[in-house]
Structure 1
Amino acid sequence: MLSRVPEIPPPLEKAAPDSYADSPFVDAISIVAMPKGFANPNMTLFDGTTDPFDHVSQYKQKMMAVTAVGHVKEACMCKGFAFTLSGPALRWLVSLPNRSISTFADLVNSFTQQFASSRKPQRHAGDLYRIVQGANETIGEYNTRFNNEKVAVRKCDVSTTVEAFGRVLHHESDLYKQLTMHPCHSFKVVQEKAAAAIRLEEDILARASIPSMPSVSSTSAIFEVK
């Protein structure tokens, strides 16, 4: 009768006596004891607002330090993942049907599918041509920014990366002229030439900050007056 009355919230559900045994993992995972000395991975908790693929990648790197093998490793990967979730993400994991996850791959697939809307826009090779060197940006700053953006691009061939790096440099820079006159066939060679240009650039800036010394003719004139 209460459920039919408007504006009356539904009664709170009571936990079942054996609800402590509920688990989204199959028994082969849920009954495995965690290794002695296991520590929760120290990382930013995922609340559903950041990229789920980045979170999974970071989690895998953190869990490489866990000394476990075989089925124990699988159980650690599944159980440890819960410690990296908070808010809606943790509620999602708890609400999964009992015994619906049998492997870590199942967990990752369900996780990334659930929070796919929070994934960063996928970068393409053509986006590298938009990383234009700023008017007051040094080659070192540009090189760092280009490499950071390049990591986010998936399936980018070497020729496109090499061409894009040179195309968006200042057209008056010596590095642009060198890469245009002498095209490179590997990004490693491009980075070696960029490193040389950065050293020259830093040396010029360092020299510019040193107070100018009197010229030889001015010094001679001082001695002649004396």
Structure 2
Amino acid sequence: MEKNRSADRVNKVADPMLRRIEEIDHRIEELAKDQGRCTSKIFSSRPPFVNNVMSTPAPKGFKMPLVPQYDGTTDPVDHLATFRTMMLLHGASDGFLCRAFPTTLTGAARDWYSRIKPDSISNFDDLGDDLVRHFMSSRRPRKTTASLMALQQEDNKSLKIFVSRFNREALQVPNLDPSVVANALLAGAKSNDFWRAVVRRNPHSLADLMVGAEEYISVEERSPVRNKSLPMVSPRP
């Protein structure tokens, strides 16, 4: 048993990324000492995690994945999701997520971490919530049903291009109601024939709606003469 523990300690020291995690745990304290009493009032001299988090070991054979650095200028939710997914794939526990997360921070995000109250973080969800609150202004505007209703097919753009654009926007709207999204698509398209084809299909999901739209477009593209005669007016539900 003692031999196994010794081997684990050797492996831990040998991994540069794990060494970096250990160094970060002490970096704030060193900065405070170097900068003097004034700096110690600004930066915490101890890590923000409780003892059981700090004692969480790295998974056996763990190698830190390459996670993009976060500086506070982009959406913090995206960074949290990327970090969590990559770390969980490598078998990291919740406590180790906390310990490893500071290695992905730089700039303003590093400053934010340095100012967290010591012994105040006991799990990764709390750490993530704190990050999101602090960098709320950097979050991407979330798409809504109203933004879908505002989409319109441009006169010089094909139905295929409009449907593709609509689908990209719709995928960013959470908890979409199929009837609402169908109405939004039909309101934005300019073909009455397309409107009738979608209504006949009565789609029950966004995926079903897109399949129906692709089928109509496929038929339309194979009938160029017919397409020229199609009236292009705003449909009425």
Q: With the length of structure 2 as denominator, give the TM-score of the two structures.
A: 0.68
| 1:191 matches 2:210 | yes
Distance 1:67 1:142, change over 3 A: same
CA distance in 2, matches of 1:107, 1:101: 6
Structure 1 residue 110, shift from structure 2 partner: 0.7
- Asked if 1 retains the 8 angstrom alpha-carbon contact of 2:197 and 2:216, the reply is no
Contact 2:194/2:216 (<8 A) preserved = yes
Q: Where do 5+ consecutive residues of structure 2 fail to align?
A: 1-33, 225-237
Report deviation, 1:109: 1.1
Number of the residue aligned with 1:218: none
Q: Quick check: 1:41–1:84 contact (8 Å CA) kept in 2? A: no
CA separation in 2, counterparts of 1:202 and 1:59? 43
Is 1:53 aligned to 2:77, yes or no? yes
Structure 1 residue corresponding to 2:149, chosen from 129, 132, 140:
129
Structure 1 window deviating more from structure 2 (94-103 vs 195-204): it is 195-204
Amino acid at match of 2:174: R
Is 1:12 the counterpart of 2:12 in the alignment? no
Task: Look up the match of 1:106.
Answer: 126
Aligned residue number for residue 180 of structure 2: 160
**Gapped regions of structure 1 (runs ≥ 5):** 1-10, 206-226
Give per-residue Cα distances to partners, 1:155-200, cap 9 Å, x unaligned. 332211111112111235x4234225x2624133322211213333
Q: Is the Cα–Cα contact under 8 Å of residues 41 and 83 in structure 1 kept in the other structure?
A: no
Q: Which residue of 1 aligns with 2:112?
A: 92
Distance 1:148 1:109 in 2: 28
Partner-residue secondary structure (3-state), 1:98 = coil
Superposition CA RMSD, Å: 2.9
Q: Distance in 1 between matches of 2:102 and 2:96?
A: 10
TM normalised by structure 1 equals 0.71
Task: Map 1:33-44 onto structure 2 (within 5 A).
Answer: 33-44=57-68
- Aligned pair count reads 187
SS at match of 2:89: coil
Q: Secondary structure at the match of 2:35?
A: coil
Of all paired residues, the percent bearing the same amino acid is 28
Going by fraction, where is helix more abundant, 1 or 2? 2
Q: Which residue of 2 aligns with 1:32?
A: 56
Q: Is the 8 A contact 2:198 2:213 kept in 1?
A: no
> Cα 1:132–1:98, aligned 2, differ >3 Å: closer, same or farther?
same
For 1:88 and 1:194, the matched residues in 2 are separated by 45
